[in-house]
Amino acid sequence: MVPKPTEPRLSSSMQPFDMNWQISEQPGFAVAFEYPKELKLKLSLETRNCGDVIIVHCQGRIVYRDEAAALSRVVGEVLQQARKLVLDLSGVSSMDSAGIGELALLQTWAQGQNVSLKCAGPSPLVRTLLDLTNLDSVLQVHPSVDEALASFREEQVCADC
């Protein structure tokens, strides 16, 4: 038999560990942990006009919660005014399943309002996600904003034929 070690296996001295959370007691509730809320979105959205096309430039990440909701809110407002929309994804650094779902939702909204929606300039990561989820078969995806704008001009020429 091997004798037990004489030293305790766990340290009995506990040091405070700052995990950026606070304990708060609310009347009628058990103790809850509150994490500080991020004050700034990790997604910035800028709209601009290019003739009769509105371009929404996305910079940052399109992920669950506030970022995905902000994209829907901005594009939803644009869909009320535009007939042609380019969603510039060149500045998107990351996207999760909520972001993919938002793109699908935006395409559905655009179709319902007879708006032509095109995506432009996805990063290799975003392009891979669009391919893996087969969303690129639903969305019109172009390598750049210029090519997306050119495709609108081509559609107009063909409609006049």
pLDDT in tens, 17-56: 444 444 444 444 333 434 344 446 799 999 999 999 999 9
Which has the closest alpha carbon to 43: 70, 73, 75?
70
pLDDT value, residue 23: 43
Residue 155's pLDDT band (cuts 50, 70, 90)? confident
Residue 154's pLDDT band (cuts 50, 70, 90)? confident
Q: What is the pTM of this model?
A: 0.72
Which has the closest alpha carbon to 106: 42, 41, 45?
45
Tell me the backbone φ, ψ of residue 28, rounded to 5 degrees. 85, 0
Longest dimension (CA), the chain: 94
Domain parsing of the chain, residue ranges: 43-160
pLDDT in tens, 4-15: 556 555 444 444
Tell me the backbone φ, ψ of residue 89, rounded to 5 degrees. -100, 10
For the domain made up of 43-160, the CATH class stated in words is alpha beta
